[in-house]
Copies of this chain bind each other. A is one copy, B any other.
Amino acid sequence: VNEFELIEKLTRSLPTNKSVVTGSGDDCAVLDLGLPDKLLLFKTDAVVEGVHFKSSAPPEKIGHKALARCLSDIASMAGTPTAALITIALPKTFDAGFIEGIYSGISALARKHDVAIAGGETTTNPERILISVSMIGLAPRGKVALRSGAEAGDAIFVTGELGGSLANRHLEFEPRLAEGRWLAEHFPIHAMIDVSDGLAGDLRHILKASRAGAELLTTAIPISRTAKLASRAESSAKPPLLAALTDGEDFELLFTVAAKHAVPLLDAWKIQFPKLKLTCIGKITDREGITLRDKTGARPFIAHGYEHFSK
């Protein structure tokens, strides 16, 4: 039983109630608390020493990453974050300065996005630091971007460049909050997710929820300079395209819109976000799975994205 199989089994019959619009299986839970024009987003995400960050990483960057991961999930639902709670589990002997550094990284990013750090707790985890962030946010009713709305014929877009994030970017990335909100406000986004498990892995999450397939143009996939350089420097490194498809923790936005909106969206994006690349990488199909198309033809893509437990 791997992580994903376990989650699927555990989440099959969870208790629900009338407040739940979308439970497990999307980037955030979506709850209806009776606010006339808004839905509540609710998310939790943890980072663990030695798993999601090295012990030698600067504490400010660890804090930044811990908060930014949750913010990225709020962004992928086109939401605005409101408040977070920080749970930090520590060995009995801890370096108070290091913990203050983590909080300093959290606080700096929270201030930037007007997120309140409304409390939390410290507890004991004898062998390593674990930081769990819980977050609530709000999204306009009727404009929450789920994973489940992709339709055959949709254009698939991704922000930024992919691959090689674990070299550095995973500790420094900026959650695409303004971008996610702007997209849902100006275009009828069919499905959206943030790329945390790798492009292929997260696209599969959309395809599964939407019961659809996808065809990607290999030449269109935006590959990061880091992934390209790594491949040149080490013969054992992943080929750059594979890195872009399967490396985790890019934290870019992956979304689909009806094909007729593709060109107007690209044009409007360039004016709104001139510094951030947006690329159309393919289209949603009604055939299961991901197909890669290049000048030699089309072939199915099988390799999976990042899975925590199998690494």
Whether A217 sits at the interface, judged by CB under 8 Å, is no
B116 touches A83 (CB 8 A): no
Whether A172 sits at the interface, judged by CB under 8 Å, is no
A115 touches B17 (CB 8 A): yes
Main secondary structure on chain A at its contact with chain B?
Answer: mixed
Within 8 A of B (CB), among A1-43: 1, 3, 6-7, 9-11, 13-17, 19-20, 23-26, 28-29, 31, 33-35, 38, 40, 42-43
Given contacts A35-B34, A96-B9, whether A17 and B116 have CB atoms under 8 Å apart is yes
Q: Which residue of B lies closest to A50 (CB)?
A: B126
Interface string of A37-64 (1 = CB under 8 A from B): 0101011111010111000000000000
B118 touches A125 (CB 8 A): no
Partner of A46, one of B35, B119, B132, B138: B132
User: Within 8 Å CB of A35, what residues of B?
Assistant: 33-35
A177 to chain B, nearest CB (A): 14
A48 to chain B, nearest CB (A): 6
Q: Which of A85-93, A238-246, A258-266, A290-298 participates in binding chain B?
A: A85-93
Given contacts A17-B115, A309-B92, whether A130 and B125 have CB atoms under 8 Å apart is yes
A79 to chain B, nearest CB (A): 13
In the assembled complex, the Cα of A28 lies from the Cα of B103 at a distance in Å of 19
A119 touches B48 (CB 8 A): no
User: Within 8 Å CB of A119, what residues of B?
Assistant: 11, 23-26, 28-29, 42, 44
Interface string of A128-139 (1 = CB under 8 A from B): 101010101010
A139 to chain B, nearest CB (A): 12
In the assembled complex, the Cα of A44 lies from the Cα of B308 at a distance in Å of 23
B6 touches A87 (CB 8 A): no
In the assembled complex, the Cα of A15 lies from the Cα of B81 at a distance in Å of 13
B99 touches A29 (CB 8 A): no
Whether A188 sits at the interface, judged by CB under 8 Å, is no
Q: Which of A106-114, A159-167, A178-186, A207-215 participates in binding chain B?
A: A106-114
A110 touches B15 (CB 8 A): yes
B309 touches A14 (CB 8 A): no
Interface string of A276-294 (1 = CB under 8 A from B): 0000000000000000000
User: Within 8 Å CB of A300, what residues of B?
Assistant: none
A85 touches B44 (CB 8 A): yes
User: Within 8 Å CB of A234, what residues of B?
Assistant: none
List, sorted by A's number, 13 A–B pairs whose CB atoms are closer than 8 Å.
A7-B122, A11-B119, A14-B117, A17-B115, A20-B83, A23-B117, A24-B120, A29-B118, A31-B82, A31-B118, A46-B123, A51-B126, A89-B130
